[in-house]
């Protein structure tokens, strides 16, 4: 994994390890950097309105990219919540 905040010559090996998103996945960039990207921030804000049923009011004429990003985020959140319920059930 690399840090998006650091120049390439200052990057070192990752200490974060493998993320569990249903299958082994090792990201190639730091999640902290990724979460500060404009489209990611806009997606998170738009998802909150989507979740409350107000997406069309706040984002009339939203781009296809934003709409798809919101749907992907919604599916990811639903999958994460499903796994948490399953873990609680299985003890």
pLDDT for the residue 88: 92
- Residue 18 DSSP one-character state: -
pLDDT for the residue 26: 60
pLDDT for the residue 35: 82
pLDDT for the residue 67: 97
* Full pLDDT tens readout for the chain, 91 residues: 566 666 766 665 554 444 555 555 566 677 777 888 899 999 999 999 999 999 999 999 999 999 999 999 999 899 989 989 998 999 7
C-alpha neighbours within 13 Å on the C-beta side of residue 2? 9
Report d(CA 47, CA 62) in Å as an integer. 12
pLDDT for the residue 61: 96
pLDDT for the residue 47: 96
Residue spans of the domains in the chain: they are: 1-36, 37-91
Q: How far is CA 5 from CA 34, 35, 71, 84, in A?
A: 10, 12, 28, 32
């Amino acid at each position: 994994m690399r840090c998006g905040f650091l120049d390439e010559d200052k990057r070192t090996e990752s200490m974060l390890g493998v993320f569990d998103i249903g299958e082994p996945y090792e990201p190639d960039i730091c999640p902290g950097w990724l979460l500060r990207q404009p489209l990611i921030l806009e997606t998170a804000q738009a998802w909150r309105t989507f979740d409350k049923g107000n997406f069309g009011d706040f984002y009339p004429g939203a781009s296809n990219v934003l709409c798809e990003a919101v749907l992907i985020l919604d599916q990811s959140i639903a999958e994460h919540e499903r796994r948490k319920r399953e873990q609680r059930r299985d003890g």
